[in-house]
């Protein structure tokens, strides 16, 4: 079946603008995760959803970052007043449940460039 999809694939924005990044998880997956991958670095956990609830927001870098999820479907990561340090690839992943044994399936990512 279809994998995790993300849109847009690339986004170039000006400093100070708001951006919205979208993630469509695999159908039936209750857990959804957002990660950030800065150039030359590993993946950094941002937030996860169990259903449409986000129990752990500790990874969000600042209050400019927020995320929501509609039911057990689409999630949107919003970055307000973007800064140059927000430039990165934003990856979304989903898994069947939130058990640690469940494989997280990753989308292709959204490459965000803040000028």
Partner 1 sequence: AQSVTQLGSHVSVSEGALVLLRCNYSSSVPPYLFWYVQYPNQGLQLLLKYTTGATLVKGINGFEAEFKKSETSFHLTKPSAHMSDAAEYFCAVSESVGNEKLTFGTGTRLTIIP
Any contact of residue 57 with partner 1 (CB under 8 A)?
Answer: no
Report the nearest approach of partner 1 to the CB of residue 108 (Å). Answer: 4
Least distance to partner 1, CB of residue 14, Å: 25
**Number of residues engaging partner 1 in binding (CB under 8 A):** 27
Member of 23, 29, 32, 48 binding partner 1 (CB under 8 A): 48
Q: Are 88 and 39 in contact (CB under 8 A)?
A: yes
Under the rule (CB under 8 A), what is the footprint of partner 1? 3-4, 33, 35, 40-45, 48, 56, 59, 91, 93, 98-109
């Amino acid at each position: 079946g279809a994998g995790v999809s993300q849109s847009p694939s690339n986004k170039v924005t000006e400093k100070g603008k708001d951006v919205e990044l979208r993630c469509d998880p695999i159908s039936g997956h209750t857990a959804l995760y957002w990660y950030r991958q800065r150039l030359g670095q590993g993946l950094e956990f941002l937030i996860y959803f169990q259903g449409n609830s986000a129990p752990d927001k500790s990874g969000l870098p600042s209050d400019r970052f927020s995320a929501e999820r509609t039911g057990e479907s689409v999630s949107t990561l919003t970055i307000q007043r973007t800064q140059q340090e927000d430039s990165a690839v934003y990856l979304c992943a989903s898994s069947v449940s939130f058990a640690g044994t469940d494989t997280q399936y990753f989308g292709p990512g959204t490459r965000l460039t803040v000028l």
